[in-house]
Amino acid sequence: MVWLIAFLFSLTVFPSSVQSSGPFKYHQILMGTTVEITLMGSSEKEAERAAQQAFHGIKRIEQLMSPRATSGDVFRINQSAGVDWVKVSPETMEVILKAKEISEFSEGSFDITVAPLTQIWRTAREKSIPPRLKR
Please report, for the chain, the start and end positions of each structural domain, with discontinuous segments joined by +: 20-65, 84-135
Q: Can you give the pLDDT at residue 8?
A: 46
Lowest mean pLDDT, pick from 9-18, 28-37, 43-52: 9-18
pLDDT at position 6 is 44
66 CB contacts (<8 Å, ≥6 apart)? 72, 74, 75
> What's the mean pLDDT in 3-20?
48
- Count Cα atoms within 13 angstroms, Cβ side, for 19: 4
With residue 43 as reference, give the H or E element that holds it.
none
Distances (CA, A) of 62 to 12, 30, 66, 106, 107: 44, 8, 6, 25, 27
Quick check: 56 pLDDT over 70? yes
For helices 90-105 and 44-65, give the axis angle rounded to 10 degrees: 70
Asked if 65 and 88 touch (Cβ cutoff 8 Å), the reply is no
How many Cα neighbours within 13 Å face the side chain of 98? 6
Percent of the chain with pLDDT over 90: 59
pLDDT tens, position by position, 116-130: 788 888 889 999 988
Going by C-beta distance under 8 Å and a sequence separation of 6 or more, which residues neighbour residue 110?
99, 102, 103
For residue 5, pLDDT beyond 60: no
For 66-117, what is each residue's pLDDT tens digit? 989 999 999 999 999 889 999 999 999 999 999 999 999 999 899 888 877 8
